[in-house]
Homo-oligomer: A and B are copies of this chain.
Amino acid sequence: RLGPITVTYETYGKLSDARDNAVFICHALTGDAHAAGFHDASTKRPGWWEIMIGPGKPIDTDRYFVICANVLGGCRGTTGPSSVNPETGETWGLDFPVVTIGDMVKVHKRLTEHLGIERLLAVVGGSMGGMQVLDWAVRYPQSVAGAIAIATTPRLSAQSIAFDAIGRTAILSDPNFNAGRYAEDGGPAEGLAIARMIGHITYLSEQGMHEKFGRQLRHADRYRYDFSHEFSVETYLNHQGRAFVERFDANSYLYVTKAMDYFDLTAQRGSLADALRDVSARFLLVSFKSDWLFTPAQSRQVVDGLLANQKRVTYCDIDSQYGHDAFLLEPERLGRLIRGHLEGVQHREQTGKSRLGQFVTPFTEESQTRQRHDHDCIASWIEPQTRVLDLGCGDGALLHRLRVSKQVRGLGIERDESAVLDCVDRGITVVHGELEEELAKFPDNVFDVVILSQTLQSLDAPEKVLREMLRVGRECIVSFSNGAYWQRRITLVGGRVAPLGGATSWHAGPLERGLSLKDFLERCADDGLRVDRVAALKAESGRPVRWGANLRAAEAVVRLRSQS
């Protein structure tokens, strides 16, 4: 038992009368409660997430009441090893109890209760902050409507533990550490600086460091042949180490890294899927491709655990070169994801319904010609309020339409990052990934309808995908351009009619390869797939073709049902 505990926090924006607009920000290893804005006109240092929090910003302080608090064990106001132990009247030092991520979250839960908030609109955080987000959602499922976990992991890898351990060794072996009893201005500066330098490398990507520093020398054209810092990257790291010592306490570094090492969402309940079974928050997970500290694969473990439990989760792996630090450095793409997700959660909290984001398709000649007749057809086949999975959902146009007209509960899978961002803008729940891999992660029969529109041609193993679609869904609907359509065959090969369904190149590329409606139906028959409904659509009007479908239809839509 530890107490009383002091908690230092900042808030931005105004708590609504219903107390339903509070967003709790969880800071990372060396962050603090000062997440946004400036303390006064004379300070030049803005809050650490100034790019994300403020009026009109993604975490919009005109809409939300934003709270950020320093963590237990930290050194920026909340009780930690540099606080005074009331029993002895001296600073705790290493007598402070070792705390966990869970302890940090429990303390912050008490803070939100103190502020009169029963249910948070969202908990948001990156890195160690993301661990707290995961812990919040698992520990207090009823108190968290939305969870946004960025560049985080359900548990540290051996490599990450190793880096932390070396940092702690550097601090513990610094003679000025003095078993944790040092004056405020005289601690283990060398050891702490080394710990910070090691950490800093892990926050950047190899490519990012290469582009920022390369082999540049700081002050000269040629080597100095001595042991001073001469490469720019050395000078930079040295500066980072020195500056860190000014603002962070070595004992806190020990406690907070240890809390990270101990965090293990898997171990708590046997498996990650078990740990996530009771969460009710709507999740957004974001990773960064070049993050090698908390890798995309680690975020994916959480996403997979949520999908296995049929929880709502949107996931995006942002293609950034900033490495782990990208969560502080990608305001645009990360901002769109956070903004879209928060708005969706708020809409759901306030109205009980999903948010329908804007989807304005301006009426232009192009949008006319690109009108999706297959979407018209698919939409007409879908029952209201069904569960729909759209494979290769693109910018979410079809799912959006189905939500508007049929109130479906939809989920999209999309491989293209910018299309994923478009989906989130529009309130579509979407997982960023390859549809073949994603399909495998769903349990059997969790959807009513699985849609594959205009995507069949780009698959390596379409038959396997169709079988998987019929495993996870009751029925599936496939749309494709009819490869036997006479007009397409003429234009494709420059005036020469290609053989029916034949290759038009050495090795017909995915987009050129025609699959005719007839071929498709024959293959279904051969493979024992039960075709239940077929529509052959005309090119201009999108109306059904009444005769000669294989040659006259520009597009085809086919519904299959599982045999059972």
- Which stretch in A1-9, A142-150, A222-230 binds the other chain? A222-230
Contact A162-B209, Cβ < 8 Å, known A194-B169, A506-B456: yes
* Residues in B neighbouring A94, C-beta threshold 8 A: 227
* A window 438-481: CB within 8 A of B: 456-457, 459-463
Instruction: Say yes or no: is A41 at the interface (Cβ < 8 Å to chain B).
Output: no
Task: Name the CB-closest residue of B to A213.
Answer: B158
* A window 516-541: CB within 8 A of B: 519-520, 523
- Cβ-defined contact, B520 with A515, below 8 A: no
* Residues in B neighbouring A237, C-beta threshold 8 A: 162, 165-166
Instruction: Say yes or no: is A214 at the interface (Cβ < 8 Å to chain B).
Output: yes
Instruction: Say yes or no: is A161 at the interface (Cβ < 8 Å to chain B).
Output: yes
- Cβ-defined contact, B155 with A169, below 8 A: no
- Cβ-defined contact, A234 with B520, below 8 A: no
Instruction: Say yes or no: is A381 at the interface (Cβ < 8 Å to chain B).
Output: no
Instruction: Say yes or no: is A238 at the interface (Cβ < 8 Å to chain B).
Output: yes
- Cβ-defined contact, A238 with B501, below 8 A: no
Shortest CB-to-CB span from A320 to chain B, Å, is 17
- Which stretch in A122-130, A258-266, A410-418 binds the other chain? A258-266
> How far apart sit A174 and B462, CA to CA, in the bound complex (Å)?
62
* A window 146-182: CB within 8 A of B: 155-159, 161-163, 165-166, 168-170, 172-175
Contact A165-B233, Cβ < 8 Å, known A157-B206, A258-B227: yes
Taken residue by residue from 188 to 216, chain A's Cβ proximity to chain B (1 for < 8 Å, 0 otherwise) reads as: 00100110011001001010011011110
Q: Report copies per complex.
A: 2
> How far apart sit A551 and B292, CA to CA, in the bound complex (Å)?
55
* Residues in B neighbouring A166, C-beta threshold 8 A: 194, 197-198, 201, 237
> How far apart sit A79 and B229, CA to CA, in the bound complex (Å)?
25
What are 19 inter-chain pairs, A to B, with CB distance below 8 A? A94-B227, A98-B225, A98-B226, A155-B215, A158-B214, A159-B209, A165-B197, A166-B198, A173-B190, A173-B193, A175-B175, A215-B267, A499-B500, A501-B502, A502-B502, A502-B503, A503-B503, A503-B513, A507-B515
In addition to A158-B213, A158-B215, 13 A-B residue pairs with Cβ atoms within 8 Å of each other are: A157-B209, A159-B206, A161-B215, A161-B233, A165-B237, A166-B237, A169-B194, A169-B241, A174-B190, A194-B194, A292-B292, A499-B502, A500-B502
